[in-house]
Structure 1
């Protein structure tokens, strides 16, 4: 129910694997990198291939991991990779070589494009040139942080502290960014069902901020179901930036089976995904995300915060009280 078919024209899983991208065979990895090198060369750039990125003579670095995953998932198979890669290279070079939106867009449009972006801390790892670029980023849960970013037509631009200072007061900017996130239109909504009464909502789309809507699980629940969250909150996961899973908790929710079902879904849609975020599952409760499933050494482990244990006991008691 929660797995994907291998795209046509792909090597079998029994073929020797690429050492960096295990979802590619050794031969596919070599072909992928050769096409990346050719695509940059056709645009006048000689690049050095590294494990997960390329660099050019100007010291610019271009990540490859998402592009490799896009090729891996392309239904057209390996024959489409050259076009996919060249389209991607054209896009990143347009962004890299073009003027900064901070210099070209009106102030009000910049504020309209402002969003809170939920990412893993490694996305914001500073380089030597900008060691303190994102001190405004805040931890929203173990393994997740929020940075303010611009939602641009072809990219997302995480804003540095310096850029934010030119836009206004940080508290006001965060408030505006969150309101913008809440106002985003709904994308593709589906409901997944499983054994033992498992049922949860899945939101998917093309926005880089689809998964960031975990911050607004209360509003998202109203948008998806027409009902408010109960005081028990919701189970939430964000396996990749284009996917969010949500299960509002009600007295009828089989909580542990749903948690296990969402864990399986999240793991399946995190591994080898484009824009992976986290395989973990969280509890959204009064605006706070608490991690319930933590993947340690590749295996999911259930954490049992005291407040969540109390919720489990209350739901169990309510369920027992309703039985004849």
Structure 2
């Protein structure tokens, strides 16, 4: 069950307040109507009458970065024009051969409604799912259940995973403080954050000395960045580093994903706290196992 925090934030586009998010939606609806298009605008996406679906996350980020909301109508107008130019009609369904040629795994966030549309997506915790997407050049589209009829989904997951493993980040920054080690993994590819889905393999390649018996603190502030720190006796310094990096990069990157710091353990993702909110406050549903691990690494007694 979603927490009250999750339900409240589900009505906000990344980095925007509820009122600002509603302003973006209203401007989008108006811009589409002015161009003769009917659409239903939802919390984080819109659906045109012919069935096309477009996310609003990038648009929200463009508005936020443009500064004053006085300019948002212009930003929305340009975005809608680009959208209608690049996608004038509903995309033709992918064939099995096309799916096989371009399938990748991507880390995405899905609410319960969206998860019901993409039943092939595998939940990995914290509202995140392992999604099959199709990459054709710079264009990435989610693969629908309808397009996977008659396709070996397990084979596509294996192929998509292999393609994700082959994507290399452009930069790995290693931050150290009093024994704490934090890795900032970045790249131009929009699949860098998705490498959280293959974290053990990634760390064996770029940081083989970092073991993970207690899991890792992780964050994906944007599609282009993955931040990782092993849970160790220096855990508080790691938490501080992830809090600062995640809060800043989520607010300033053009492709934000999540402002939260998470615990990755045995392939599952557990949200710990929202780094965009001042004063670190752990969520009430943080696993008891993590609290015990935290206390042990801090040298405390019972959790």
Shared fold per TM-score greater than 0.5: yes
Alignment of 1:6-85 (within 5 A): 23=16, 45-46=36-37, 50=41, 58=50, 60=52, 62-73=54-65
TM-superposed deviation, 1:262: 0.9
* Distance in 2 separating the partners of 1:132 and 1:23: 26
User: How many pairs align?
Assistant: 282
Q: Residue 115 of structure 1 is aligned with which of 104, 118, 128? A: 104
TM-superposed deviation, 1:184: 0.8
Q: 1:173 to 1:20 in 2, by over 3 A?
A: closer
* Distance in 2 separating the partners of 1:166 and 1:296: 43
Deviation per residue, 1:97-147 (Å, 9 max, x gap): 2643614xx71x53242222222222x734xxxx95322222201322222
- Are 1:291 and 2:270 an aligned pair? yes
Q: Contact between 1:47 and 1:54, CA under 8 Å: does it hold in 2?
A: no
Q: Contact between 2:31 and 2:76, CA under 8 Å: does it hold in 1?
A: no
Q: Residue 186 of structure 1 is aligned with which of 137, 159, 169? A: 169
With 150-159 and 51-60 compared, the bigger mean Cα shift is at: 51-60
Q: 1:23 to 1:282 in 2, by over 3 A?
A: closer
TM-score between both structures, scaled by the size of structure 2? 0.70
* Distance in 1 separating the partners of 2:80 and 2:174: 32
Q: 1:198 to 1:73 in 2, by over 3 A?
A: farther
Q: Contact between 1:115 and 1:181, CA under 8 Å: does it hold in 2?
A: yes
TM-score between both structures, scaled by the size of structure 1? 0.66
Correspondence for 1:94: 86
Please list every run of 5 or more consecutive structure 2 residues that lacks an aligned counterpart in the other structure: 1-10
Correspondence for 1:258: 238
TM-superposed deviation, 1:214: 0.7
Correspondence for 2:132: 148
CA RMSD of aligned residues (A): 4.4
State which structure, 1 or 2, has the greater radius of gyration over its C-alpha atoms: 1
Q: Contact between 2:50 and 2:90, CA under 8 Å: does it hold in 1?
A: no
Deviation per residue, 1:244-264 (Å, 9 max, x gap): 1012456xx611221232133
